Structure 1
């Protein structure tokens, strides 16, 4: 059944017009547009606090305008050098793809999504923290739409995120929509609530990977330099907002960011992140994260690119290139 996109603006009982030049006089009820998040189910979140999108509308056949808000403080996507975390932009793009797939392309709730790639590039000058949350306008183009028997099975989105009239970030992603019966055939009878998970491994020191709390560290040290074991904490309230039978994509992107920070030896601002997901990353088998510079040695104070790969059971399951600048560069 298609998801309804019907939305209303409501009058606030007892509220009157604000008196300002040109405003109506009297005490007539004010019809005011209320801001709230979109239903959490449409972006596959269990917690309302993790929903970043607030509205959407179709502007042409496959173009849409979405509204979003980034909080001044987030429990996980914390500010970097006075700027909003680039990963919150990546999460916003991820949510945009899910929302439009369900609401505008009629992918039923209960379908699973396989993310193939997710990219984001930010403009730090327009990512600065201010005295209020960041109010955003997303311009989204949906294309490369795949269909089978009249049902959408995949799509690609390109996204431009605007803030106060300025382009703050761009990016996009490609996903495949998987019906429950097909997902069960791919994944077997795995139940996230009973699936075995590796014992939680010791974290790298938080300051080494750009974090303040050990609970947010997703890497465990290995003897070989620039190698880590992916640290999977299924109790993490943001990365595992709800039970999953595999490691979520945002966990892998965060692992790439932390590996980059550890490799460079100082906090970094990853302004461009390009990711490719090759296979599900299982929760019960060790996954090795490796990082190496892609452009020679690493002088401090320079922009650098780091390639991060993930391997599990002898196969590459993920790779990510991060282009970074040190703080205040």
Structure 2
């Protein structure tokens, strides 16, 4: 799906948005300034914001890919969109401590985003839809984003979230588990598992491998989700569950197992049904379909916690 004509016209204005420095990390729920990609965000209507993000050429996580030629990682674009959506929601009045839990997302790119000699300049047209209770409080919301990279339409991202306070989040976690949820701060990396070799999942740095005990059959793959909590791009701050971004990376790595390290996703969608617990095995099962599609399901115990679908530039299941 291409960006709308109106959005492209708005985002083509060179004086509208700045790429000079990042916005306050608190606006995008990041602990490290180095993990903030949004550089500007400005109102453009009652429930609309225009945002700018700089896509780095060199990043320990997002640039660590063996596929060539080098492209801007679709999950980097996804993260930039997520950050712009969170910042816009706060600027529209969502309280600073409100937690936005991703319920679903879809990012569809118009093609491979080739990286050149300069960082990418991504312009994001954000349009928000907040659903409120009778008392006026936002409980759920969505954002639709048209993406323009270096002046050219790049694709569309949509995201739906549930909004809770920290107290509500803690109470929900206790109710679902019966006990307090552990934290990445208190847990070590998984033991007794054999992480995939980096080149098997299109990576160079072992720290960026998030799947272990990989099993492959014709057009199918299975693995444990076993990230290192020392990866400060995936775990920039403390979590009590496996975040959506980590599951998306696991899905991408299983897709690479099926399709080869030259395959690059141009469409990724996810639906998150339950919290992916840190202290239970999380099993990912991938199946290759027609047209370069890969379906991935994440299970804990006898329940599905998330479902993802990727469409790849290469042919899955070779």
Structure 1 and Structure 2 fold alike (TM over 0.5): yes
Q: Which residue of 1 aligns with 2:120?
A: 134
* More helix, by proportion: 2
240, 248, 251: which one aligns with 1:245: 240
Is 2:105 the counterpart of 1:118? Answer: yes
74, 94, 97: which one aligns with 1:107: 94
Q: How many residues align?
A: 286
Is 2:177 the counterpart of 1:192? Answer: no
Q: Which residue of 2 aligns with 1:71?
A: 56
Is 2:206 the counterpart of 1:214? Answer: yes
Structure 1: which 5+ runs fail to align? 1-32, 296-302
Q: Secondary structure at the match of 2:311?
A: strand
Is 2:263 the counterpart of 1:278? Answer: no
C-alpha deviation, 1:148, in angstroms: 5.0
C-alpha deviation, 1:325, in angstroms: 1.1
Q: Which residue of 2 aligns with 1:146?
A: 132
Q: Which residue of 2 aligns with 1:235?
A: 230
Is 2:160 the counterpart of 1:174? Answer: yes
Q: Residues 10-159 of structure 1: matches in 2 within 5 Å?
A: 35-78=20-63, 80=67, 81-104=69-92, 106-124=93-111, 127-159=113-145
Q: Deviations over 1:123-182 (max 9, x none)?
A: 335x21111111121111112533452222221001111123211121110001101221
Q: Secondary structure at the match of 2:223?
A: strand
Q: TM-score, normalised by structure 2?
A: 0.84
Structure of greater relative contact order (alpha carbons < 8 Å, 6+ residues apart): 2
**1:34–1:252: structure 2 CA closer, same or farther, 3 Å change rule?**
closer
1:139–1:160 CA contact under 8 A, matched in 2: yes
**1:156–1:233: structure 2 CA closer, same or farther, 3 Å change rule?**
same
Q: Which residue of 2 aligns with 1:293?
A: 288
1:305–1:322 CA contact under 8 A, matched in 2: yes
Aligned equivalents of 1:251 and 1:294: distance in 2? 23
Q: Which residue of 2 aligns with 1:14?
A: none
**1:130–1:179: structure 2 CA closer, same or farther, 3 Å change rule?**
same
Structure 2: which 5+ runs fail to align? 1-17, 175-179
Q: Which residue of 2 aligns with 1:323?
A: 311
Query: Which structure has the greater CA radius of gyration?
Result: 1
**1:110–1:95: structure 2 CA closer, same or farther, 3 Å change rule?**
same
Aligned equivalents of 1:108 and 1:228: distance in 2? 38
Aligned equivalents of 2:293 and 2:283: distance in 1? 20
RMSD: 2.0
Q: Which residue of 2 aligns with 1:268?
A: 263
